[in-house]
Amino acid sequence: MTTRVPEPATKRQPLNRDRLLSTAIAIADASGIGALTMRSLAQALDVKPMSLYHHVANKEEILDGIIDVVFGEIELPPADIDWRTAMRRRAVSARQVLARHPWATPLMESRRNPGPVTLGHHDAVIGILRRGGFSIQLTAHAYSMLDAYIYGFALQEAGLPFDNETVPDVAQEMMAEFPTGAYPHLTELAMEHVLQPGYDYGDEFDFGLDLILDSFEALLRSDR
Amino acid sequence: MTTRVPEPATKRQPLNRDRLLSTAIAIADASGIGALTMRSLAQALDVKPMSLYHHVANKEEILDGIIDVVFGEIELPPADIDWRTAMRRRAVSARQVLARHPWATPLMESRRNPGPVTLGHHDAVIGILRRGGFSIQLTAHAYSMLDAYIYGFALQEAGLPFDNETVPDVAQEMMAEFPTGAYPHLTELAMEHVLQPGYDYGDEFDFGLDLILDSFEALLRSDR
DNA sequence: ACCTGAACACCGTTCAAGT
DNA sequence: ACCTGAACACCGTTCAAGT
């Protein structure tokens, strides 16, 4: 004999904004941002499309919202460590987060309504630089440059037509389509670098990051 | 009395791939990539939507095609000038081109079929570095870093919610919505830097670019 | 060879109606 | 307060048919 269960464990949770946004992110992660439609989102939430409009004004607000959630995933180091360690950890974390959500980087461009988490992130990073002794001028330089580098790298990484395992196959396939003798330098770089064992495009990130941090360390010293 | 004109000057040109792509770019420039639909493109070409499919397989091919056209607009300096001048000119030109086509940068991510112009561009840039004395290793570092910076900067610039004239209005409006006391560092940076006369976000580009070029010049010297 | 009309399976969103 | 059915004006694309 079964007991009557007034509230079964599988009972549908009431819809709310947080669940809406995290489900939207899950869809984009799994199937790309193109697969995120009001209809697909509603179905994943076990609800009709029109119900979504009770929690967000429109799809734009969903896109603004998920970008703000993604920003919240980036580690903000404690305020009491030195600026270089803090900037390094934030940059590495940002790259990891953007690699986890490859649809997010290009979306940054069109989003012009930064959410509270995004603004808080920017504020904290600027604060770390200022406390580290950066002038306002130098803070602007450093922040602009670091973010350009991080987003640009993430954009390139998201656009790579291969992951680390399929490098040889994809590279060989692409080069097979080259007209004979065309792109000699590209071919050289592929053969003698990209196709060598142990190659990992991701390793490039640390090189450029440290180069930037070195430069600002030198500038900071000569600044005061 | 009017003469009979068998071929009026306004006669519709026959559709071809080049005209299709350049019209597509004109639409995206004028109204954003979202306004570029098979139907809007057909209308601009004075043709029915289905006619487009005689010149391209689908919309993906149009997107691949216009990205390749945009790449072709980037200046490739002559092979006989020194690497630093060449890299500088290419970077400045790339930024100008991407600023002219703000929809293009985020599109780079999803395009995985580089066209012949794009491949030729990459090949030429790598060639300039190699001839400048860069090892394969250092070439990979430099190219990855320069492109990450260029694309990242273009992405940020495209996402700015203001152009140079409207900076004060937009910044003031945004800050007016901040809860009191929130984002103190962001506010400081805005008040004492962004809102100062003569501020131009674009100026940041040269600073970071020269910093990168300086670093590689030093690395190149110690490398040989 | 090049173009097209009609149709299909999708979109985001509005509106009026249900509980 | 929260959800929904039906409808509207859009998408990209296929197919069969026109010149």
- Does residue A162 sit at the B interface (CB-CB below 8 Å)? no
Residue of A nearest to B149 (CA): A149
In this predicted structure, what is the pLDDT of residue A168? 83
- CA–C1' B96–C9 (A): 41
Give A103-125 pLDDT, tens digit per residue.
Answer: 999 998 778 889 999 999 999 99
Q: Contact B9/B56 with Cβ under 8 angstroms?
A: no
Give A24-42 pLDDT, tens digit per residue.
Answer: 999 999 999 999 999 999 9
Residues 6+ apart with CB under 8 A from B74: B90, B93, B94, B97, B121
Residue A55: CB atoms within 10 A of its CB come to 18
How far is it, in rounded angstroms, from Cα B118 to Cα B108?
A: 11
| Nucleotide closest to residue B14 (CA–C1') | C2
What are the Cα distances from residue B156, in Å, to A129, A144, A171?
Answer: 20, 9, 30
Q: Quick one: average pLDDT of A127-141?
A: 97
The gap from C-alpha A94 to its chain's centroid, in whole angstroms, comes to 6
Closest partner CB to B192 (pick from A136, A186, A204): A136
In this predicted structure, what is the pLDDT of residue A77? 85
Q: Quick one: average pLDDT of A151-173?
A: 86
How far is it, in rounded angstroms, from Cα B55 to Cα B18?
A: 10
A50 C-beta less than 7 Å away from strand D: yes
Helices (H), A80-202: 83-100, 104-110, 116-131, 136-159, 167-176, 184-189
pLDDT along chain B (224 residues), means of 10: 36 80 96 96 94 95 96 92 97 97 89 90 96 97 98 92 81 88 94 92 95 98 78
Strand C-contacting residues in B 20-79, CB cut-off 7 angstroms: 47-48, 50-51, 53-55
Residues 6+ apart with CB under 8 A from B206: B92
Query: In 3D, which of B145, B80, B114, B125 has the Cα closest to residue A186?
Result: B125
Q: Do A185 and B112 touch (CB under 8 A)?
A: no
How far is it, in rounded angstroms, from Cα A208 to Cα A146?
A: 10
In this predicted structure, what is the pLDDT of residue A4? 33
| Nucleotide closest to residue A50 (CA–C1') | D4
In this predicted structure, what is the pLDDT of residue B161? 74
Helices (H), B134-202: 136-159, 167-176, 184-189
Residue of B nearest to A154 (CA): B148
* Shortest distance, CA B54 to any CA of chain A (angstroms): 24
